[in-house]
Amino acid sequence: MRDTITIGTIAGVVATTVMTLYKAILFLLGFQFISTWDSAAKIFLDASLIYTPIGYFIGFLGQYVLGSIFGVTVAYMLRFTGKDFYLLKGIGVGTMIWLGSLGFMMRILAINLHGRSHVLTIF
């Protein structure tokens, strides 16, 4: 398969699924955090609708769409820069996406993270 968009989308969906399962396990173990699906739902819905079935659906859908966009971004970066040092390049792009989404976009969209005073969320 040589289609960069398809490869990136599949990679983004797989990575998002792994992240979602990991965060679900942490949540079941008692860790408290603002999940990515909650944050995605906050972008599109009123606060009273976030923890409803439609809120979870919109949150998961938004999370998977963002994961696909990030996967396509990494796939194009690897296509244009080559596949040597792919792990280092992936870590670099992932760090830029993480800083951009947490440091920039969440400020613009006024999504506030809470729970930092809880002992399990400061790590």
pLDDT, tens digit (0-9, with 9 covering 90-100), for 49-100: 888 898 889 988 988 998 999 999 999 988 999 889 988 988 888 888 878 7
Contacts of 31 (CB under 8 A, 6+ apart): 120, 121
Vertex 59 angle, CA 56 and 65, to 5°: 140
The whole-number pLDDT of residue 100 equals: 78
The number of distinct structural domains making up the chain is 1
Q: Which domain holds residue 61?
A: 4-121
Structure tokens at 11: 């990679």
pTM of the model: 0.74
pLDDT, tens digit (0-9, with 9 covering 90-100), for 7-48: 999 999 999 999 889 988 988 888 877 777 887 888 788 888
Residue 40: name the closest of 23, 20, 60 by CA. 60
